[in-house]
Structure 1
Amino acid sequence: MQSNPHPAHGPFWYGPPLEEAALIIYAVHGRGQTPAYMAQVADRVAMPEVAWVLPAAHNRSWYPQSFLAPIEENQPVLDDALETVRTQLGVLLGQDGPPVGVLGFSQGACLLSEYLLQDQPHLAGAILHTGGYLGSSEREWAASPESNLVGLSVELFTAREDAWVPLHRVEATRHAFRSLGATVELTAYDDPEHHLNEDSIRRIRRYLRHRTVLPTGL
């Protein structure tokens, strides 16, 4: 049985050490990217009190097909990627440290959407930029007995006409999170470029500022 290839490539810590951080963001890159892309996002957000944990996908891809393909066409690689997120976030959440949130872009946003709706973990926040949950059709989601999504603030960003991520799936993802009790804000841009524009960076910075907790003694 082939082992999960993703953990061999990270995650990488970027920013202040744990004892000096006011917030930890687990930031998942997109297809064809590396953790360096999310480090650039961190630099653009420019919050020195935030520590970034940057996972790395094997061969720069978390799963092989489009996120709109039938889920079985992305297996077993998708389950490997979900287990990577589950394990690495579990370590962060198990530490005696600052709050932990997540940020994903493109394929990383899709992966995190799927993980959050499946596992429904306790997080300080979630930012999902240009992505939605996986599958060839819209799905209904049930709250787990241990769901921690009630009251979670989720920020969704996308373009109205993105080349890879249709607006209707991002809207369905918004509905899914709301059905599980999360508070969701969706920002859709008339900007077809597949990127994080300066307005979204400003909004991300503002969102993170509301979730930082300064370490005691500082």
Structure 2
Amino acid sequence: MHKKEIVIAGKSINNAKKALIMLHGRGATAEDIIGLSSHLNIKDYAIIAPQATNYTWYPYSFLAPPSQNEPWLSGAITLLSEIVSDINASGIASENIYFAGFSQGACLTLEFVTRNARKWGGAVAFTGGLIGDKIYTENYKGDFEGTPVFIGTSDPDMHVPVERVYASTNILKSMNASVTEKVYANMGHTIIPDEIENANKLVFS
């Protein structure tokens, strides 16, 4: 299971009014994803980046049956719940907690916020979709109350089919998230400046 190893940056959690949870991709590190923070409009945020044990949040594709990715997937969801509780305990309300992830971290971002829909600060998924061999709508509860969400992806993408991105967007919208989805032709499995610009404009404004 995932150990609670967290890298922090930005403002001290006790002095910040907003917090950003950043989730790295498969084979990457918390430091890697924190490197992205210098391009985001988050200078007054506390930044919290958990490190996945063995550098992966779950072992198989996000499109595998969820049971194949256990107990790692549930462990990752539990870890995020603990981090949110810790941030809340420090005095930052959920409506001032933001999420951003890339690839596997983007999938986990969307999965967590949709399983725990409420008024969040916002969420950014750089190439990701809801997790499972199909979408398990029974896992998703709550009301986003207009939470801004930006999802950027490539068509095609080697790991994330654009059809899953569309389906994920529809689920979030049905739960009252304010979703902007942008599909880039042949972008590749990466993050481009236009995605950063959209994240800043729509979520970290």
For normalisation by structure 2, the TM-score amounts to 0.90
Q: Pick one of 118, 125, 128 that aligns with 2:125.
A: 128
Q: Does 1:116 align with 2:113?
A: yes
Question: Which of structure 1's runs of 4+ aligned residues deviate more than 4 A?
Answer: none
For 2:200, the equivalent position in structure 1 comes to: 205
Q: Pick one of 181, 184, 189 that aligns with 1:189.
A: 184
Q: Does 1:106 align with 2:103?
A: yes
CA distance in 1, matches of 2:139, 2:92: 30
1:150-205 deviation digits (Å, cap 9, x = unpaired): 21111111111111001000111001101111111101112432111111112222
Q: Does 1:11 align with 2:6?
A: yes
> Which deviates more from structure 2 when the two are superposed, residues 63-72 or residues 86-95?
86-95
Q: Does 1:61 align with 2:39?
A: no
Q: Give 1:142 shift.
A: 7.2
Amino acid of the structure 2 residue aligned with 1:14: A
CA distance in 2, matches of 1:104, 1:50: 16
Contact 1:114 1:133 in 2 (8 A): yes
SS at match of 1:17: coil
Q: Give 1:11 shift.
A: 1.5
The two structures, once aligned, show a CA RMSD in angstroms of 1.9
Amino acid of the structure 2 residue aligned with 1:105: F
SS at match of 1:195: coil
Change (3 A) 1:63 1:165: same
What percentage of residue pairs aligned between the two structures are identical? 27
Amino acid of the structure 2 residue aligned with 1:190: A
Q: Give 1:46 shift.
A: 5.8
CA distance in 2, matches of 1:19, 1:114: 28
Structure 1 segment 146-185 matched on structure 2, within 5 A: 147-185=142-180
Q: Give 1:13 shift.
A: 1.1
CA distance in 1, matches of 2:204, 2:61: 33
SS at match of 1:150: coil
Q: Does 1:23 align with 2:29?
A: no
Amino acid of the structure 1 residue aligned with 2:98: G
For normalisation by structure 1, the TM-score amounts to 0.85
SS at match of 1:59: helix
User: Which structure: larger Rg?
Assistant: 1
CA distance in 2, matches of 1:164, 1:205: 25
CA distance in 2, matches of 1:150, 1:122: 5
Change (3 A) 1:141 1:48: same
SS at match of 2:170: helix
Contact 2:119 2:145 in 1 (8 A): no
> Which deviates more from structure 2 when the two are superposed, residues 113-122 or residues 69-78?
113-122
Amino acid of the structure 2 residue aligned with 1:64: P
SS at match of 2:137: coil
For 2:75, the equivalent position in structure 1 comes to: 80
Gap regions ≥5 residues in structure 2: none
1:198-217 deviation digits (Å, cap 9, x = unpaired): 1111222223442xxxxxxx
What number of residue pairs does the alignment pair up?
Answer: 203
CA distance in 1, matches of 2:79, 2:116: 13
Amino acid of the structure 2 residue aligned with 1:198: P
Change (3 A) 1:142 1:19: closer
